[in-house]
A = this chain, B = another copy of it.
Amino acid sequence: MKAGPSQEEIRRHNLGTLLRHVHIGGSMSRAVLAERMGLNRSTILGLVSELGAAGLVREELPRETGRAGRPSLVVRPESDRVYVLAFDVGVDRMSAARIGLGGVFLDRREIPVLPGPRDAGKVAEVLAGCALDMVGAARRGTHCVGVAAAVRGTVRRSDGLVRAAPYLGWEDEEFGEDLMRRLGLGLPVSVGNEASLGALAEHLRGAGTGCQDLVYLHGDIGIGGGVVTGGQLLGGDCGYGGEIGHMVVNPRDGRPCGCGARGCLEAEAGERALLEAARRDPSSTGREAVHAVVEAADRGDIVARAALRDVGDWLGIGVANLVNVLNPRTVVFGGTLREVFLGAAAQIRSRINRLALTASRENLRLRVGELGDDAVLVGAAELAFSEILVGPLETLARAGARTA
């Protein structure tokens, strides 16, 4: 419990808040900003001028107003003055992007890889090379102000240590530190769990916009989860919160899970369970394989239908538990679970209706992710933008000093 801030801290807070408003909400007039921030217009004018002078926002005529009369100017984020680097260390590909204020993708690269263990140093080397290429291609006078990477695994919040990422064969890897060294940009690299970052992304820019209590389930090789509660990402004690895929839903006769337990949601409702139940080639995994099962069920294939129903049942049980414990407003299905949800929505909903308390589920919305495959990268970018949205001018000054 700290004391209230000083005048200077308030100024910085206000600059950061205004920048965050246009970064997340897009172009808006000074009048709207004044209302949302609870400040008078002259204060807003001062803040906009300061951010404008720094090149972080610009005032311009709105694209279209739909109203008669002279339109008022809108404040929009400058996507070309500062950017962040975002990485997603995926199962069968790695992605890197250079993303500007407002969440604009300025550059992006995809690196297909074979699923399976990967040397952490090699991953950092490849991603750093790719990123430095993007940095080199950026316009002169633009600054990198943050770097973040997403992995599918448990990541310690305090220092970004990757505690475990079985799909990569990683244990206690100082991946962020390594990536930072190889980038040589003088910026720390934040590392986060892929589904937590997906949750953040869908909360800020996707299916959960405006919703303060959200659960995000991300399917690919496993089932990752991220929880937003009261508008904040739930990290828990060390940042490992949100491991929804390892909630045990079938303790009595559950399938073995990669984590060593049995009956985890991931083991019962993950990609592998679906493909096995649908009697598909277990070596063919990934988006296409899941899609093929959903399509077959659509066409009336009985085995595929039963498989989807089974997986939908387990997902419904898992979501019902989360609804009782977390009372979210929105549950978002992303990654391959997007397809699964579309094929098993009725089953999932019916389980939730039977198992979740009436009060807890009555306003519940089930949604598919709106950001598609980009959710994780977008979330990583938001993590990387954290610093400039707290102290815009200081962060920019530091970036300028590094480049000079």
Q: Which residues of A contact B (CB under 8 A)?
A: 1-5, 9-11, 13-14, 17, 20-21, 36-39, 43, 154, 156, 163-164, 212-213, 225, 227, 229-230, 232, 234-244, 246-253, 259-261, 317, 320-322, 324-329, 354-360, 363
- Cβ contact of A363, chosen from B238, B259, B354, cutoff 8 A: B238
For A261, give the chain B residue with the smallest CB separation: B355
A320 to B325, CA, bound (A): 14
Q: How far is the CA of A332 from the CA of B22 in the complex (A)?
A: 43
- What is the count of identical protomers in the complex? 2
Q: Which residue of B lies closest to A254 (CB)?
A: B252
- Are A320 and B248 neighbours in the complex by a CB distance under 8 Å? yes
Residues of B within 8 A of A163 (CB): 358-359
Query: CA separation between A402 and B239, bound complex, in Å?
Result: 47
Q: Give Cα A14–Cα B317 distance, bound, in whole angstroms.
A: 46
- Within the complex, which residue of B9, B20, B247 is in contact with A321, where a contact is CB–CB below 8 Å? B247
A339 to chain B, nearest CB (A): 24
Tell me which of A225, A239, A249, A325 has the highest count of chain B C-beta atoms within 10 A of its own C-beta: A325
| Given A252-B253, A325-B241, A358-B164, A37 and B246 contact (CB-CB distance below 8 Å) | no
Contact A164 B359 (CB under 8 A): yes
Asked if residues B5 and A251 are in contact (CB atoms below 8 Å), the reply is: no
Given the complex, which residues of B lie within 8 Å of A230, measured CB to CB? 232, 234-235
Decide: B5 and A4 in contact? CB cutoff 8 A: yes
Contacts of A244 in B (CB 8 A): 324-325
| A324/B247 in contact, CB under 8 A | yes
Measured between beta carbons, the chain B residues less than 8 angstroms from A242 are 325, 327
Chain B residues with Cβ under 8 A from A252's Cβ?
250, 252-253
Q: In this complex, which of A36, A250, A261, A326 has the most chain B Cβ atoms within 10 angstroms of its Cβ? A: A326
B residues in contact with A356, CB < 8 Å: 246
Question: In the complex, what residue of chain B is closest to A259 when comparing beta carbons?
Answer: B357
When chains A and B are docked, how far (Å) is the Cα of A260 from the Cα of B14? 50
Give A107 Cβ to nearest chain B Cβ, in Å: 29
A272 to chain B, nearest CB (A): 19
| Beyond A2-B38, A5-B5, A240-B360, 7 extra complex contacts between A and B, CB < 8 Å | A163-B359, A164-B357, A242-B325, A244-B324, A246-B356, A260-B354, A325-B326
